[in-house]
Structure 1
Amino acid sequence: MSRGGSIKLKLGLVVVGSVLVAAVLATLGAGSVPAWLSIPVTVALALGVSQLLAAGMTSPLRAMTEAAGRMAAGDYTARVGSTATDEVGRLARAFDAMAGDLATLDRQRRDLVASVSHELRTPLTALVAVLENLADGVVDPDPRTVRGALRQAERLSDLVTDLLDLSRVDAGVAPLRRETLAWRPLLDEAVAGAGTASLAASRGVRFDVVVEPPDLTAHVDPRRLHQLLTNLLDNAARHSPAGGAVRVHATARPGGVRLEVSDRGPGIAAQDRDRVFERFGTVAGDATGGTGLGLAIARWVTDLHGGRIAVVDPEPGGSVGSGPSGPPDPVGARFRVDLPTDLPAPRRPVERTSVMPAPTPSAPVPHPPAPRPPGPVAGAPVVGAPAPAVPGGGPGGGSGGSVADEVFGELWRDRGVPGRSGVLLAGLGVGLLAAVSMPLAAVGIGATLVLLASGLLVLRVAPPGRDAFRWGCALLCVGFALVLVVRDALWVGTLGLLVAVVLVTAACVDARSVRGLLLGVVAWPLAGLRGLPWLGRCVRTLSGAGQGLALARTAVLSLAGVLVFGLLFASADAVFSSWFDALVPDLGGNLVLRIFTGVAVAGIVLAAAYLGLNPPRVEPVGPAHRRPVARRWEWLAPVLLVDAVFLAFLAAQAAAVLGGHDFVQRTTGLTYAEYVHQGFAQLTVATALTLVVVALAARKAPLLDRADRTWLRASTGALCVLTLVVVASALQRMSLYTDAYGLTRLRLVVVVFEVWLGLVVLGVLVAGLRLRGAWLPRAAVLTGAALLLGLAVANPDAVVARTNLDRYDATGKVDDRYLLGLSDDAVPVLLDRRPELLRCDADAGARWEDDAADVSVWSAWNLGRARADLARLDLDSRAVGACPVGSTSIP
């Protein structure tokens, strides 16, 4: 969107486009795509369309940001080059004009420094040589030698005076004080001064003054005009032959006055006529010893008066006359100055630039530019050199000032990760695989392949130097992906996926603490926004530099054109409608759901890839910041009191165990089963809180004194030991409760969680004895993941079914409906122990998992379901009784 007359109109079009895309997607996904999938995908695609439409609006601003960074580093060659006609486009063109002016000023400054150095070096060298000869006695201090030194000193004085005059004009401190004066007195005064000057007097140059009409007047600044005349007359006298004549002619012209100064010198070649007005703009063959600043001052004075100065062709036939010796008339040089009668408001003159034409064999070779020093000017950046990295954008900055950079700032910097078309294509490939295999199919081998492909991509783009922790995370994630194809219990696979998220993010961001683990989990969804600049770079590498947005726009417009005109023609002609329906896929629920699924999975995978390529910094730099208290009792007293509470609780536990059922019922009024059930959740929370107490004590306790370290080990070590006893008590309570009421999935997960807490407490105990616990968070994560993976390998639904059937054999009590609600993983156990329950399952038809998704497609193949199908085939060959719980009421 680079065209358009107003930024407001463009913003309105962006809003309309985003809302239209969101409305279309919401309409297509209504009824066929679940809300938890359609909402994030719709928002993501709407944001993508907004980014696509707004890219043309913001690209000049990003280019200006980059160009400003390069200009700050000394490179004035950057240009925005925007063709937009809105406010941003006008700003870009003004920026380019400013950059051009700055580049010109910078070049002139460099040329001035180099030229001044060159011009000062020649008289200074000559003067130093004369003075050295005098000091060494090589020459005598006779009048001739002293006059030579004086001439060099005078040349230096003239050069410094001219430079001061130019600096005053440049700085704008030389305002015009204009008066109406007669030209004749001005010219006579200037000629008188030039005629008595040492140069003109020594060479016998005369001045012929002509004023037409004689009463010609001018509205000028007399001081500045005298400066102009002096420099022109001095230049003419310098180049005229000895005894020659200089003609000064002032005439009236429409709207102003024309002044011409002509000499009888060698003249100025056409290609050098602009150059003579530049500072130090001497030409080839000029050996008169001028500073090269007089004509530059003349031009500045002319500009101050709003006039124009130029070198024109001399009058035909050598009109200035002949010299006394009678040689042929020389060509001569002729300077023309046009001054207006009505002067505009004073303005600061603008430095003109000239381009030296290439020398030709037939033309005299122009005077070469003044040589520059061998190296760059001290303190001046080199134009055209690569600009250094500018924070937040510019060369090397990578992001170019995107919206993501503004949102995240220094919290998560884009380190300029280059775009990788292979990663983009691989992510889109994983999304396509998910779109083909996952929707409308039960979880099985298709989901496993998607997870394995995603993990392989993230592992491939992760930086080298992977440690044992990352390899452990990778192996555990592979195990959780295989669970989906081995076990039919969806709840186990879901827990495994949640733990895999923690493992992937921990490995990508190199998390080493609890804080890092939590921030890593949050970083994955945020990577979808932070990685937008990188995604743009990937698209550009895929489609060619700078062509990514053009390719996307072309694809969108082409698809829109085909759909719009195709639908119009299809509604107008039945034959074309049949062709159109055959070519265009059905936009019904299946296709829409697959598209939503593919986009969501591709986005998740690419966000994980960016997290591996450019992880945020989740761990503090340097050693951990501790804030110990000043007195020991401030941290020790609370820990000892918690130890005392734990001791009291264990004493109560011992009394309940020794007293038995009667003691518990007499004391609490509860049965023993109710007693053990009541306290399990509280014991689990107490175990987790113990870790918080130990962490706070380790943070607040001073470690410099040996006594403090001893007290820390003793108090927290005792707390950890007591906690391990509490963990054993909680597990014993769960065992008793299971014997009384049976085992469920939730109870099994809670037991595993309690075992994990016990292992963590054991790790805390070891870390406390060594006073080194940096390894503990990673070890806790890996241990928890390994326990969960071990639970999945143990076939939890089969364990639940087997335990409840053991209880049934012992007590005759079992919840048949709960057993029927287990996944197909429990079918082999039921076939072996209670085959009649499978008859209930066969009578009821497909299970609830099969009602939600298709199990007949290839991507839904699962080992647990395959074994269950074989068991049902075996059931058909047996003589099994009727369903004991009824065949039409299965929960």
Structure 2
Amino acid sequence: MTPLSWVGSVKVKLGLLVAASVVVAVAVTSLGSAGGVPVALSIPVTILLALAVTQLLAVGMTSPLREMTAAAGRMATGDYAVRVTDTSSDEVGELARAFNTMARDLATVDQQRRDLVAGVSHELRTPLAALSGVLENLVDGVGPTDPTSLRSALAQTERLSALVADLLDLARVDAGKAPLSPAPVPLGPLLADAVAEAMTLGALGRAVTYDVSVPDDLVVSADPDRLHQLVANLLDNASRHSPAGGVVRVSVSVQGDRYRLEVHDAGPGVDPADRERVFEPFGTLRATSGGGGTGLGLAIARWVTELHGGSISFVDPEPGPQGAAIGARVRVDLPLRPPDRPAVRQETLMSPNPAAAPAPTPPPASSEAPATPPPTAPRPLLDDVFGTFWTEPGTPARLSLLAGALGVGLLAAIVLPFRVQGIGTSLVLLAGGGVVLVASKDRRDPFTLACAALCALLALVPTVRAADWLLVLSLLAGAVTAAVGLTRGRTLPGFIVSCLSWPLAGLRGLPWLGRTAARVTGLGQGAALLRTLVLSLAGLVVFGLLLVSADALLAEWVDAALPDLTLDTFVLRAFLLVAVGGVVLAGAYLGLNPPRVDRTGQPARPVERRYEWLAPVLVVDAVFAAFLVAQAAVFFGGHDYVRRTTGLTYADYVHQGFGQLTVATALTLLVIAVAARKAPRATPADRLWIRVALGALCLLTLVVVASALHRMHLYQEAYGFTRLRLLVDVFEGWLGLVVLLVAAAGAALHARWLPRAGLVTAVVALLGIAAVNPDAWIAQHNLDRYDDTGKVDWSYLQGLSDDAVPVLADHDAACALVGREDARDDWLEWNLGRSRAADHLPRFAGATGSVASADGCPSDAATTAD
């Protein structure tokens, strides 16, 4: 039962869906605003909850349509046993019920078609085998060519003709196009003719006598030929199943505007359970005993009866002389005047083209309807959005992952609010990473394990360093590394898609989340689970409050363990629970069902002529060579040559270029990638030119990297050291390392490993920055410069984190410690940088516990200008 299955209109359902989503979004946004939740946290949580409500209410709205699409495909292959879910009350539910009815009817028609083919084959086999045997004997001269043998062959031929005629009549009536030409029919003479015909053809049945009772001068309106066919088939069936010397009683009575015809034989009768089946084509072969016949007589009798607007059935026979009911009794109720039917041209019915004939309408379903199989699994709606890029193969529900994600969210809600980074932050990151790693189906892959190890090291940065900017860089690097490790990306575009896949997993994993949530409600059958949770919570609150109020020590323990749960803090913690739990759950789904981030597209199409790629590369080589010559001129000419030639001081000269050189280095890597993709490699000469031209470009690029690093070093010596300049230095150095890796890949003409190596070295470089304690390094170099030049920007040093305090304290740089306080962290906030700072600050702190403003601390802001 779906949440909105009781609504009888799709329009109303859509309206309720939109209204519920809007109400949830407004309520969550208002609650977050009132609770002081940051916008960056409030918006994603609001979107996540609105999507969850939409997914919950939209369950089952379109699933019948998707089921019908899948079912129609199966029916096209001949599987008519398929069914779809039809529990909805709206228009889609009505369509689903109509579809199931159609499927049942088609299954019945298909089964009857199979039975008809099998029955006709069985009926044709016997006379054909007998006729073939007689003719073979005649051809081989084994049998005599006397009238007896020919009469036997003629009898088999007549039997085949009767079967074909019966099939043709059945097809006409089955199509609903059998002609009906009503006329006044005296019923007494018609029955007399039929009985006389049956007695004349007694050789085909048993020697029986007929007892006919019909009102005098009874005239009915009917098609004479069809009515005669009906009576003849009933008499033929009764004679075949009556014992020799038996009596077949035929009676007619008038009842209002209808008349009743009954035929009662003295045979073994028909079991009540088989009385409906005997009217099916070849039903007499299964339901009654006795030999002969085509098995179509009663089927034709039923359709002729219905053609006249009547009904036919087997009823209980009348008791015999000894009081026991014997034989079979067929009752036919017909109107004295049949309903009007449109006339149909005979040539249409006799058309030799099957396509020109009207399609037959299916007969009523058999009493033994096929068992209804379970509905087809609905195709998730999001499959149409993500397509083959990210399929959903029915990922199994994992309650442990849902519980783990909620546990990490709860841990974050307890630990993170109102605390600075420290052990608690690392615990949350390690716990979330552990849940995601356990969920990954590739957790034993070496690259995935390497990424997990790098993420674990990055998660320790908040405990080791106090610099906020390092925390931000570590979180970003960890997210990228985790996403690439989970999807096992191999190319730079694959890395980008991997990073986008993590937030998209929150949408792609909604069907999996729905299956997992269904498993939760399935435990204890929903109501029992809810009742258990309520009773447990009530017991915890009631007895917890009583015992806490009775024991002061227990109260202290509870105060230390439980966070502050005022309204504002509760809202913030709730948002954090949903946000962190959602991120971890999305990562878990990404590990369970990673997308195909590295699409196998068209292979690279090298250029036809070598100069098409070589000429642009040689031009870039020439430009870099000119730069190299200029650097040599500066090196040998000195500062005076630079000032005389350019009019710039050497400081201005080095400051002018390092940014451009960094961009040039990155663009060079792009040029090398494009050239390597387009360069042909068919001949040894092609491969040699690749190695020479691109190798030379790599060497010249290394010169550019060295020049950029040298310029940055000179600039820092002149103007001081900052975080940004340090990062630019590291980034430029990492680019130089990537150039070396590119050169190695070019020498081997194999670069499949290169993107992953670049990612790993970048993360290692970031870990290296964290390891050297960058704020302390910057403080140390600025103070060394101050000792040499007397220039320093005290305001910039004051903005460094507590990681720099030991260096500043060792130099007695009180000007850089102004305003700092000795932190009073709990164990979840413990951080190595702040702990070491706390060991040095007391000797600089005043009575208030903070370092007072120091006089005589001039600011030289220009020294750190970028």
Q: Same fold (TM over 0.5)?
A: yes
Partner secondary structure for residue 460 of structure 2: helix
State the alpha-carbon separation in 2 of the partners of residues 216 and 674 from structure 1. 125
Q: What are the Cα deviations for residues 318-372 of structure 1, in whole angstroms up to 9, with x where unaligned? A: 6xxxxxxxx9999443322111245446598753455589xxxxxxxxxxxxxxx
State the alpha-carbon separation in 2 of the partners of residues 127 and 658 from structure 1. 118
1:271–1:481 distance in 2 versus 1, CA, 3 Å: closer
What are the residue-to-residue correspondences of 1:451-530 with 2, within 5 Å? 451-464=429-442, 466-530=444-508
Cα distance, 1:769 vs. partner?
A: 1.7
Cα distance, 1:235 vs. partner?
A: 1.2
1:718–1:193 distance in 2 versus 1, CA, 3 Å: same
Which deviates more from structure 2 when the two are superposed, residues 861-870 or residues 83-92?
A: 83-92
**2:774 alignment partner in structure 1:** 796
**1:726 alignment partner in structure 2:** 704
1:889–1:717 distance in 2 versus 1, CA, 3 Å: closer
1:667–1:448 distance in 2 versus 1, CA, 3 Å: same
Q: Is the 8 A contact 2:310 2:332 kept in 1?
A: yes
Q: What are the Cα deviations for residues 699-718 of structure 1, in whole angstroms up to 9, with x where unaligned? A: 22111122222222211111
Cα distance, 1:189 vs. partner?
A: 4.3
State the alpha-carbon separation in 1 of the partners of residues 448 and 363 from structure 2. 64
1:883 aligns with 2:854: yes
**2:559 alignment partner in structure 1:** none
**2:598 alignment partner in structure 1:** 619
1:869–1:198 distance in 2 versus 1, CA, 3 Å: same
Q: Is the 8 A contact 1:840 1:886 kept in 2?
A: no
Q: Is the 8 A contact 2:220 2:336 kept in 1?
A: no
Cα distance, 1:81 vs. partner?
A: 5.4
**2:231 alignment partner in structure 1:** 229
What are the residue-to-residue correspondences of 1:167-186 with 2, within 5 Å? 167-186=171-190
1:797–1:141 distance in 2 versus 1, CA, 3 Å: farther
Partner secondary structure for residue 165 of structure 1: helix
Cα distance, 1:256 vs. partner?
A: 2.3
**2:611 alignment partner in structure 1:** 633
Q: Is the 8 A contact 1:204 1:243 kept in 2?
A: yes
Percent identity, aligned pairs only, is: 56
Alignment RMSD: 3.7
1:335 aligns with 2:330: yes
Cα distance, 1:134 vs. partner?
A: 7.3
1:679–1:585 distance in 2 versus 1, CA, 3 Å: closer
Partner secondary structure for residue 212 of structure 1: coil
Q: Is the 8 A contact 1:258 1:337 kept in 2?
A: yes
State the alpha-carbon separation in 2 of the partners of residues 386 and 27 from structure 1. 45
Q: Is the 8 A contact 2:464 2:831 kept in 1?
A: yes
State the alpha-carbon separation in 1 of the partners of residues 666 and 19 from structure 2. 52
**2:348 alignment partner in structure 1:** none
State the alpha-carbon separation in 2 of the partners of residues 127 and 886 from structure 1. 126
**1:52 alignment partner in structure 2:** 56
Cα distance, 1:226 vs. partner?
A: 2.9
**2:830 alignment partner in structure 1:** 861
1:402–1:344 distance in 2 versus 1, CA, 3 Å: farther
Which deviates more from structure 2 when the two are superposed, residues 811-820 or residues 89-98?
A: 89-98
Cα distance, 1:481 vs. partner?
A: 0.4
Q: Is the 8 A contact 1:437 1:859 kept in 2?
A: yes
1:66–1:625 distance in 2 versus 1, CA, 3 Å: closer
Partner secondary structure for residue 313 of structure 2: strand
Could you tell me which of 6, 10, 14 is aligned with 1:7?
10
Cα distance, 1:14 vs. partner?
A: 1.9
**2:363 alignment partner in structure 1:** 351
State the alpha-carbon separation in 2 of the partners of residues 284 and 875 from structure 1. 109
Partner secondary structure for residue 403 of structure 1: coil
Task: Kindly provide the amino acid, as one letter, of the partner of residue 293 in structure 1.
Answer: L
State the alpha-carbon separation in 2 of the partners of residues 465 and 199 from structure 1. 84
State the alpha-carbon separation in 2 of the partners of residues 649 and 665 from structure 1. 18
Q: Is the 8 A contact 2:398 2:516 kept in 1?
A: yes
Count of matched residue pairs: 812
State the alpha-carbon separation in 1 of the partners of residues 12 and 23 from structure 2. 16
Q: Is the 8 A contact 2:665 2:701 kept in 1?
A: yes
Q: What are the Cα deviations for residues 252-306 of structure 1, in whole angstroms up to 9, with x where unaligned? A: 3322232223334444344443332222223677233223221111112212222
Cα distance, 1:761 vs. partner?
A: 0.9
What are the residue-to-residue correspondences of 1:185-204 with 2, within 5 Å? 185-197=189-201, 199=203, 203-204=206-207
State the alpha-carbon separation in 2 of the partners of residues 86 and 38 from structure 1. 36
Cα distance, 1:118 vs. partner?
A: 4.3
Cα distance, 1:683 vs. partner?
A: 0.1
Task: Kindly provide the amino acid, as one letter, of the partner of residue 4 in structure 1.
Answer: V
Partner secondary structure for residue 626 of structure 1: coil
**1:712 alignment partner in structure 2:** 690
Give 5+ residue unaligned stretches, structure 1.
Answer: 319-326, 358-381, 388-393, 563-582
Q: Is the 8 A contact 2:462 2:471 kept in 1?
A: yes
**1:252 alignment partner in structure 2:** 254
Task: Kindly provide the amino acid, as one letter, of the partner of residue 107 in structure 1.
Answer: Q
State the alpha-carbon separation in 1 of the partners of residues 317 and 46 from structure 2. 79
Give 5+ residue unaligned stretches, structure 2.
Answer: 343-359, 539-561
Cα distance, 1:123 vs. partner?
A: 4.9
Task: Kindly provide the amino acid, as one letter, of the partner of residue 7 in structure 1.
Answer: V
Partner secondary structure for residue 704 of structure 2: helix
1:56–1:189 distance in 2 versus 1, CA, 3 Å: same
Q: Is the 8 A contact 2:278 2:287 kept in 1?
A: no
Q: Is the 8 A contact 2:405 2:585 kept in 1?
A: yes
Q: What are the Cα deviations for residues 140-185 of structure 1, in whole angstroms up to 9, with x where unaligned? A: 6766566556555544443344334333333444343444444345
1:90–1:760 distance in 2 versus 1, CA, 3 Å: same
State the alpha-carbon separation in 2 of the partners of residues 356 and 98 from structure 1. 17
Partner secondary structure for residue 217 of structure 1: strand
Cα distance, 1:43 vs. partner?
A: 1.3
State the alpha-carbon separation in 2 of the partners of residues 105 and 115 from structure 1. 15
Q: Is the 8 A contact 2:188 2:215 kept in 1?
A: no
**1:652 alignment partner in structure 2:** 630
**2:352 alignment partner in structure 1:** none
State the alpha-carbon separation in 1 of the partners of residues 806 and 154 from structure 2. 118
Q: Is the 8 A contact 1:840 1:884 kept in 2?
A: no
Cα distance, 1:786 vs. partner?
A: 0.8
1:189–1:417 distance in 2 versus 1, CA, 3 Å: same
Could you tell me which of 585, 588, 600 is aligned with 2:579?
600
**1:301 alignment partner in structure 2:** 304
What are the residue-to-residue correspondences of 1:401-412 with 2, within 5 Å? 401-412=379-390
